């Protein structure tokens, strides 16, 4: 007794807006004479959750039931359907079932995200490719001034240092990647279709990762001067590339102007005196040695985001957001945004947007961001007043699992949940990744290799056979990454075949001169496809069922792309009649216009297929629907 998938039974696609109509349609079994939708509010933006609602749907001539309704308050709502049978019994219909349960049996509910106001994400942020650069490790040119504790590697291709047994990892080995190095490689990034560079922190710091900020208003001398950073922005912009900075506002470095634990700065730091202008920025339990820090790491004391001086530094005139956004930075990625109080996040996003509606704000959230709970509080990231996007780790997990031979239905379920829950504009801007500075390198993760010790992992290199298998999987994974809703975020060097396990082994130097040219050509093709079909790739998402393949469509008024993936280690022969008629019918319903096909055009080869084709083992085919007439 099937019911319509929420994508075809609910409008709008994804989230709704408080006070604006939501339309649902329900296909009930013949014995159901009346249908109700039952809604309950789980989280509310303003105040307490409202009372549950039970609304009756109107019968349609087709035997289906439908209703248009508005919800009074923003937040997260859950809903199910109830069908009244001829004998008066109720059947309960919930998410993830094709049947129904009578009376006491409970089924899961669907989620309806209801925004306070619709936030229009800048169009540039929904197109192209984001390229994440770990600033110390991408490219080094010119003189390398070094005035830090620790050491500067002489040889670019050295392996990053790891902690010795029973010793603390200090992240104090440097390679000297700099702004001028990035400028020298901008044409290369253009060849990959890059539209935005996401830089790891570049502010003054004592570590190679720079998440322990020493001075928010200074560029780290190893990365370059302020003039060189300004030149990077200008040269990137000249090529159509925007710059996004990593905003680390939950904590500072212990070795900083503000905390000054080691007395390396002329300022009076919070660690040195209670008379410090920065004293109320931090949480002390046993002054000065006992202080709250991020995840217990004493090098990064946690900041009190309510401290007036701190807020003025970050949000005020001449402050952090003002200085760097005025210089031309177009995006901010908010590190550990779930550690920031909600009111501070709102104020921060509002301040960033003071510099134009084309500013882009991304949060580091590892879960479904619509229902993120941190420190016992629900976070209203996508209610229209805060984030534009998040780092899309749920897609990453689904993509890597599928590319390793996983189940297509499980992939579709994981991706569909995100697409159902997020506002559509935010969905189109999600930062889709398969690896980052916080995860194992994608090609290493896809190899399945797992040496036992840190030392073994540091010295490990994939065999030729392992690499060939992992590379094939990465090409499949990246195709999904680039063609799902959202914007791909390519972690520097993944396109070159860089290997590495956990931090810091995933933060090696880009292998200039020894890249995997096959992979680079593959990523360049994917970047070209994103440019050529930019409008289509902001379309909606539809999955088709198939016995052995993953099939989904990206459908928009500008056209329809169909992606067919095969994670098995054998080729699969496909008849278009197996999936195309039903998928195009759903596309027609979604777009409110008839979608018919003369054939399918392979976007890689340009060849047309009409009846049958082969999907290679651990591979994918991408087709543009050739419209009839």
Beta carbons within 8 Å of 177's beta carbon, 6+ residues apart:
133, 134, 135, 136, 137, 138, 139, 140, 223, 509
- DSSP calls for 497-546: T----STTTT-----TTS--HHHHHHHHHHHHHHHHTTTGGGSEEEEE--
Burial class (CB in 10 A: 0-12, 13-18, 19+), 474: buried
Given the residues 161, 204, 335, 425, select the one marked as catalytic: 335
- DSSP calls for 125-154: GGSSEEEEE-GGGS---S-----SSSEE-S
Query: Residue 101 is inside which H or E element, if any?
Result: strand 101-102
Locus of tokens 């067919």: 564
Catalytic site includes residue 168: no
Q: What are 426's two structure tokens? A: 């935010």
Given the residues 173, 204, 246, 364, select the one marked as catalytic: 364
Query: Residue 205 is inside which H or E element, if any?
Result: strand 203-205
* 3 state DSSP class of 587: helix
Buried b (16+ CB within 10 A) or exposed e, 463-473: eeebbebbbbb
Using left for φ > 0, alpha for ψ between -120 and 50, and beta otherwise, residue 291 falls in beta
Q: What are 246's two structure tokens? A: 């990593």
Helix, strand, coil percentages for the chain (3-state, nearest 5): 30, 25, 45
Q: Which of 335, 346, 262 is nearest to 299 (CA)?
A: 262
Residue 375 backbone phi and psi in degrees, to 5: 55, 40
430-to-374, 409, 516, 554 alpha-carbon distances in Å: 20, 22, 28, 15
Asked whether 427 and 14 are in contact (CB, 8 A), the reply is yes
* 3 state DSSP class of 379: coil
Query: Residue 581 is inside which H or E element, if any?
Result: helix 580-591
Query: Residue 68 is inside which H or E element, if any?
Result: strand 65-69
Q: What are 38's two structure tokens? A: 């039952």
Sign, CA torsion 123/124/129/132: negative
Rounded to the nearest 5 degrees, what angle is found at the Cα of 303, between the Cα atoms of 302 and 306? 140
Asked whether 96 and 417 are in contact (CB, 8 A), the reply is no
Catalytic site includes residue 161: no
Residues designated as active site? 335, 364
């Amino acid at each position: 007794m099937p019911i319509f998938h929420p994508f075809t039974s609910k409008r709008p696609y994804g989230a709704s807006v408080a006070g604006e109509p939501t339309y649902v349609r329900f296909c009930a079994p013949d014995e159901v004479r009346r249908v109700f939708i039952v809604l309950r509010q789980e989280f509310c933006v303003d105040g307490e959750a409202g009372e549950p609602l039970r609304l009756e749907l109107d019968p349609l001539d087709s035997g289906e039931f439908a209703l248009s309704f508005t919800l009074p308050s923003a937040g997260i709502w859950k809903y199910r359907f109830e069908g009244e049978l001829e004998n008066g019994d109720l059947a309960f219909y919930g998410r993830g079932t094709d049947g129904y349960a009578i009376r006491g049996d409970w089924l899961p509910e669907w989620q309806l995200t209801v925004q306070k106001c619709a936030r229009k994400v800048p169009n540039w942020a929904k197109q192209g490719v984001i390229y994440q650069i770990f600033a110390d490790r991408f490219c080094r040119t010119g003189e390398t001034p070094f005035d830090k504790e620790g050491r500067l590697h002489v040889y670019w291709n050295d392996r990053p240092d790891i902690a010795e047994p029973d010793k603390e990892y200090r992240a104090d080995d440097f390679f000297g990647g700099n702004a001028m190095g990035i400028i020298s490689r901008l044409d290369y990034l253009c060849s990959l279709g890059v539209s935005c560079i996401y830089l790891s922190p570049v502010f003054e710091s004592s570590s190679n990762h720079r998440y322990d900020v020493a001075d928010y208003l200074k560029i780290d001398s190893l990365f370059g001067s302020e003039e060189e950073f300004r030149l990077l922005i200008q040269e990137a912009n000249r090529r159509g590339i925007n710059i996004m900075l990593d905003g680390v506002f939950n904590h500072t470095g212990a070795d900083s102007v503000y905390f000054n634990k080691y007395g390396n700065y002329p300022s009076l730091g919070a660690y040195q005196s209670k008379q410090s202008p920065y004293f109320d920025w931090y949480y002390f339990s046993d002054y000065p040695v006992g202080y709250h820090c991020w995840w217990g790491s004493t090098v990064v004391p946690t900041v009190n985001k309510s401290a007036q001086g701190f807020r003025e530094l970050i949000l005020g005139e001449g402050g952090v957001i003002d200085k760097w956004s005025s210089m031309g930075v177009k995006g901010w990625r908010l590190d550990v945004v779930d550690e920031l109080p909600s009111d501070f996040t709102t104020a921060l996003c509002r301040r960033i947007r003071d510099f134009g509606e084309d500013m882009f704000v991304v949060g580091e959230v590892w879960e479904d961001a619509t229902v993120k709970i941190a420190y016992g509080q629900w976070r209203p990231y996508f209610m229209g007043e805060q984030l534009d996007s998040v780092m899309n780790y749920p897609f990453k997990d689904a993509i890597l699992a599928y590319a390793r031979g996983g189940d297509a239905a499980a992939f579709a379920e994981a991706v569909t949940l995100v697409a159902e829950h997020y506002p559509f504009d935010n969905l189109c801007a999600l930062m889709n990744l398969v690896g980052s500075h916080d995860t194992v390198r994608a090609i290493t993760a896809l190899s399945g290799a797992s040496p036992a010790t840190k030392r073994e992992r540091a010295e490990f290199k994939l065999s030729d056979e392992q690499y060939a298998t992992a590379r094939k999987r990465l090409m499949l994974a990246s195709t999904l990454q680039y063609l799902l809703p959202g914007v791909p975020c390519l972690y520097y060097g993944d396109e070159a075949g860089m290997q590495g396990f956990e931090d810091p082994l995933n933060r090696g130097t880009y292998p200039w001169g020894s890249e995997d040219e096959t992979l680079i050509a593959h990523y360049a093709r994917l970047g070209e496809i994103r440019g050529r079909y930019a409008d289509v790739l902001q379309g909606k998402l539809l999955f088709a069922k198939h016995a052995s393949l993953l099939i989904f469509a990206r459908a928009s008024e500008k056209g329809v792309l169909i992606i067919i993936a095969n994670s098995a280690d054998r080729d699969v022969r496909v008849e278009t009649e197996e999936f195309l008629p039903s998928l195009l019918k759903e596309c027609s319903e979604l777009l409110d216009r008839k979608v018919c096909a003369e054939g399918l055009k392979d976007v890689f080869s340009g060849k047309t297929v009409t009846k049958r084709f082969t999907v290679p083992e651990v591979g994918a085919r991408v087709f543009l629907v050739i419209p009839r007439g």
